[in-house]
């Protein structure tokens, strides 16, 4: 696999809500097949960074490129871009009035205008892969939090995105359901998916990441391999942050 | 002991007359409910606007209509407007206008709250799979809004049907008025008519509104969300 091909490039990104900067001059490249895990204290801007990547947040400076094309110029066809950038959110965000299958089919059928039979077949394959093959006709209310998140992952995967964004997808889950969702993500990572993950699960971050990005105060303070970052963090703030997870 | 008053129901065409009266009630109700639903949906969408002027105007309208007893509104339109502007509105038209003004306000508020009760994540999840704004409305927001709207909208419908009994007071001959006429006409021959006639009217209202409530329950169950 060509590891040097850049899928997403973020150049000097800045973002503010009017009162102080949320992100200051953030630059980050994500390469094909790479798993980048973004960590940092609450409110540091990591979720905002992820949301900027698929246009859910406006930016005030810098630019973002997808496959070498600028997507933050104002002329972007976001519908097209978002098909290439899948995203899974923290809250269980399935559409409550649709069955599991219809949740998954909505994008492929209405946005990509794909053939229903073909998409249904693929949906079933993906659902089986995340252990939910028998839930096609269930409504979201009949699923546990962990199951809902796995469906949400399938709903994003079926669009065949080039990169997947995960925004604290286990933060709202009961502890016993965290594992089943992380396992799915780990499997995706091993299968070579390109991923950007925001998480508070440090052991998971260490296991899944090719590269750790540490953000605090809206700036990237440190990037490195999981070994480097978790064993020998370079900055004082990263050290302090990691200490908060020790007892 | 006086004989039972039930016979008054079957004297002449009394029962048919009551049903005719009920039809007037239902007729005015259906028209004003339909108009209220249509206009209320539009108003509700307008009310979700962030524009301060729009917000203020719709808010004043809503509060004004809510604070006013429906009877006062009926009198304003039927006696006030007709006199002042020289318009000749009959009772039924006045009733239709008042119930539509009232229903639209209430319905608008229901629609507004149904729309804003849909979490913003729903919209974002739609965006994230590439849907555009109108697709998000069509496939995500509107279906969920309708589901949330059914119980309160049906509640409003039955309230409107019941409240039409006020239009007796602006001279519309609906079911209650027909009942009064029958009672008056038989005052000496059937002194017990009051209980039987009003009792019958009670059941007429009941069997008009009950199926609507049952429908609401059925739909609520069928489309239960969360």
The answer to whether A110 contacts B139, with C-beta atoms less than 8 Å apart, is: yes
CB-CB neighbors (< 8 A) of A96 in chain B:
144, 225-226
Task: Give the Å distances, CA to CA, from A218 to A43, A199, A205.
Answer: 9, 16, 20
Mutate to test the interface with A, among B117, B122, B128, B147 (most CBs of A within 10 A): B128
> Concatenated DSSP letters for A200-242?
S-HHHHHHH-SEEEEEETTEEEEEE-HHHHHHS-SSHHHHHHH
Q: Do B129 and A96 touch (CB under 8 A)?
A: no
- As for the ipTM of the complex, it is 0.88
Return d(Cα A107, Cα A38) in angstroms, integer: 27
Whether the Cβ atoms of residue B149 and residue B110 lie closer than 8 Å to each other: yes
Residue of A55, A97, A155 lying closest to B129 (CB–CB): A155
**Selected residues 136-195 of chain A with any CB under 8 Å from a CB in chain B:** 141, 152, 155-156, 159
**Residue A196 contacts B where some CB pair is shorter than 8 Å:** no
Chain B residues at the A interface, defined by Cβ less than 8 Å, are 119, 121-122, 124-132, 135, 139-140, 143-144, 147, 223-226
- Residues of chain A neighbouring B135 (CB-CB closer than 8 A): 110-111
Rounded to whole angstroms, what are the CA distances from B39 to A1, B42, B205?
59, 5, 26
How many residue pairs from chains A and B have C-beta atoms closer than 8 A?
68
- Asked if A94's CB is within 8 angstroms of B130's CB, the reply is no
Kindly state whether A110 is in contact with chain B, defined as any CB-CB distance less than 8 angstroms.
yes
Positive or negative: CA dihedral B18, B22, B25, B27: negative
Cβ within 8 Å, pair A159-B135: no
**Does the structural domain B5-222 have CATH classification 3.30.360.10?**
no
CA A124, A129, A135 angle in degrees (round to 5)?
50
* Closest CB to A93 among B121, B132, B147: B121
A89 and B139 within 8 Å at the Cβ level: the answer is no
Residue ranges in chain B modelled with pLDDT below 70? 1-3, 224-226
For β-strands A61-66 and A6-16, DSSP reports them as: antiparallel
Q: Give the C-alpha separation, A4 to A210, whole Å.
A: 13
Q: DSSP 3-state assignment of B132?
A: coil
- Domain ranges in chain B are 5-222
Phi, psi dihedral angles at B173 (to 5 degrees): -90, 90
Tell me how close the Cα of B30 comes to any Cα of chain A, in angstroms: 29
C-beta atoms of A96 and B144 within 8 A: yes
Q: Is A76 on the interface with B (CB under 8 A)?
A: no
Q: Which of A86, A56, A79, A81 is nearest to A70 (CA)?
A: A81
**DSSP helix, strand, coil percent of chain A (3-state; round to 5):** 40, 25, 40
Using a 10 angstrom Cβ sphere, with 0-12 exposed, 13-18 middle and 19 or more buried, the burial of residue B75 is middle
CA distance A48 to A56: 9
CA pseudo-torsion sign B181, B186, B191, B196: negative
A106 inside 8 A of chain B by CB: yes
Determine whether the interchain pair A93/B122 forms a contact, defined as Cβ–Cβ distance below 8 Å.
yes
pLDDT of residue A1: 44
Chain B residues lying within 8 Å of A111, measured CB to CB: 129-131, 135
pLDDT at B1 (0 to 100): 42
- Of the candidates A79, A89, A110, the beta carbon closest to that of B125 is on A89
Among B12, B28, B60, which residue's Cα sits nearest to residue B36?
Answer: B28
pLDDT of residue B168: 87
Which helix (H) or strand (E) is A7 found in, with range? strand A6-16
Please give the DSSP secondary-structure letter assigned to residue A59.
-
Of A174, A216, A212, nearest to A195 (Cα)?
Answer: A212
Could you tell me the fold of the domain covering A6-91+163-243?
Rossmann fold (3.40.50)
> Would you give per-residue pLDDT tens digits along chain A (247 residues)?
445 789 999 999 999 877 778 899 999 999 999 999 999 998 888 999 999 998 999 889 999 999 988 998 878 888 899 999 999 999 878 999 999 999 999 999 999 999 999 999 999 999 999 999 999 999 999 999 999 999 999 999 999 999 999 999 998 898 889 999 999 999 999 999 999 999 999 999 999 999 999 999 899 999 999 999 999 999 999 999 998 888 7
Which are the contacts of A39, defined by CB distance < 8 A and separation ≥ 6? A46, A198, A199, A200, A202, A205, A212, A213, A214, A215, A241
How far B117 CA lies from chain A's nearest CA (Å)?
13
Distance separating alpha carbons of residues A151 and A106, to the nearest angstrom? 13
Q: What gap in Å lies between CA A183 and CA A189, rounded to an integer?
A: 10
Q: Write down the pLDDT at residue B104.
A: 96
Chain B positions touching A168 (Cβ under 8 A) are none
């Amino acid at each position: 696999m060509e590891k040097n091909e850049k899928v997403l490039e973020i150049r000097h990104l800045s973002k503010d809500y009017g009162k102080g900067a949320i992100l200051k001059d953030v630059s980050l490249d994500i390469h094909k097949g790479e798993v980048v895990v973004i960590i940092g204290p609450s409110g540091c801007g990591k979720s905002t960074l992820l949301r900027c990547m698929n246009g859910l947040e406006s930016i005030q400076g810098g630019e973002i490129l997808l496959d070498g094309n600028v997507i933050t110029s104002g002329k972007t066809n976001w519908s097209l871009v978002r098909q290439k950038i899948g995203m899974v959110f923290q809250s269980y965000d399935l559409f409550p009035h649709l069955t599991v299958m219809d949740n998954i089919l909505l994008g492929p059928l209405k946005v990509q205008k794909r053939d229903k039979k073909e998409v249904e077949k693929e949906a079933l394959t993906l659902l089986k892969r995340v252990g939910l093959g028998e839930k096609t006709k269930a409504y979201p209310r009949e699923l546990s939090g962990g199951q809902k998140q796995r469906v949400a992952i399938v709903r994003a995967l079926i669009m065949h995105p080039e990169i997947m964004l995960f925004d604290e997808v286990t933060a709202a889950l009961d502890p016993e359901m965290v594992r089943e969702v992380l396992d799915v993500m780990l499997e995706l990572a091993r299968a070579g998916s390109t991923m950007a993950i925001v998480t508070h699960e440090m052991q998971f971050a260490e296991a899944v990441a090719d590269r750790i990005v540490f953000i605090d105060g809206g700036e990237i303070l440190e990037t490195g391999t999981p070994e480097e970052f978790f064993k020998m963090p370079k900055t004082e703030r990263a050290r302090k942050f990691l200490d908060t997870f020790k007892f | 002991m006086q004989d039972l008053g039930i016979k008054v129901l079957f004297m002449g065409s009394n029962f048919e007359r009551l049903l005719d009266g009920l039809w007037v009630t239902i007729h005015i109700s259906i028209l004003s409910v339909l108009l209220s639903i249509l206009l209320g949906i539009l108003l509700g969408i307008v009310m979700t606007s962030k524009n301060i002027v729009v917000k203020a105007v719709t808010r004043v309208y809503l509060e004004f209509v809510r604070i006013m007893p429906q009877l006062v509104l009926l009198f304003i339109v039927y006696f006030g407007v007709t006199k002042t502007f020289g318009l000749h509105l009959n009772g039924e038209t006045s009733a239709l206008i008042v119930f539509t003004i009232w229903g639209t306000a209430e319905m608008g508020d229901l629609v507004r709250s149904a729309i804003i009760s849909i979490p913003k994540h729903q919209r974002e999840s739609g965006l994230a799979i590439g849907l555009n704004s109108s697709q998000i409305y069509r496939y995500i927001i509107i279906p969920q809004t309708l589901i949330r709207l059914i119980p309160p909208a049906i509640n409003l419908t039955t309230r409107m049907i019941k409240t039409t009994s006020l239009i007796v007071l602006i001279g519309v001959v609906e079911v209650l008025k027909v009942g009064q006429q029958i009672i008056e006409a038989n005052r000496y021959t059937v002194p017990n008519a009051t209980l039987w006639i009003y009792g019958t009217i009670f059941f007429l209202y009941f069997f008009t509104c009950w199926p609507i409530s049952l429908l609401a329950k059925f739909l609520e169950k069928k489309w239960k969300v969360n």
